[in-house]
Amino acid sequence: MEQERISAAQFKKMVFLYTIGTSVILVSNMLASDAANDAWFAAIVGTVAGLGLVGLYLALVRLVPGKTLVEICFVLLGKWLGLFCAFLLFVYSFVLTTLVMRNLGDFLTASLFPETPIYAIHLVYLLIVLIGVRYGLSNIARTMDIFYPFIFLLFILFALLLMPDVDLKQIQPILRSGAKPIVNAAYSYISFPYLEFILFLMIFSKIENARDGGKAFLNGTFLGGFVLLIITILCITVLGTEMTASNLYASYEMAKTIKIGDFIQRVEAIIAAIWFVTIFCKLLLCFYMTIQSFSQTFHLGEYRPFVFAMGVVLFAISIIVVPDSGYFISFDRYVWTVYALTCGFVIPLLLLVVGFIRRKRNVQESASGGLDNTPDY
**DSSP per position, 146-167:** HHHHHHHHHHHHHHHHHGGG--
Residues in the chain: 377
For residue 252, what pLDDT is reported? 85
Could you give the 3-state DSSP secondary structure of residue 355?
helix
Domains, the chain, ordered by start: 8-320 (1.20.1740.10)
pLDDT value at residue 230: 95
Task: Quote the pLDDT of residue 268.
Answer: 72
Burial pattern 41-60, b for ≥16 Cβ within 10 A else e, equals: bbbbbbbebbeebbebbbeb
DSSP 336: I
On the CB side of 325, CA atoms within 13 Å amount to: 13
> How many CA atoms lie within 13 Å of 111's alpha carbon, on the beta-carbon side?
22
3-state secondary structure of 5: coil
Please tell me the predicted confidence (pLDDT) of residue 75: 94
Which pTM value belongs to this model?
0.93
- Are 336 and 191 within 8 A, CB to CB? yes
Residues of the chain predicted below pLDDT 50: 1-2, 371-377
Q: What is the pLDDT of residue 265?
A: 65
Say what angle helices 23-35 and 268-297 make with each other, to 10 degrees: 100
Amino acid in position 325? S
Rounded Cα–Cα distance for residues 68 and 351 (Å): 13
Kindly compute the dihedral angle of the four CA atoms of residues 179, 184, 190, 192, in this order, to the nearest 10 degrees: -140
Q: Which amino acid is at 274?
A: I
What is the residue type of 13?
K
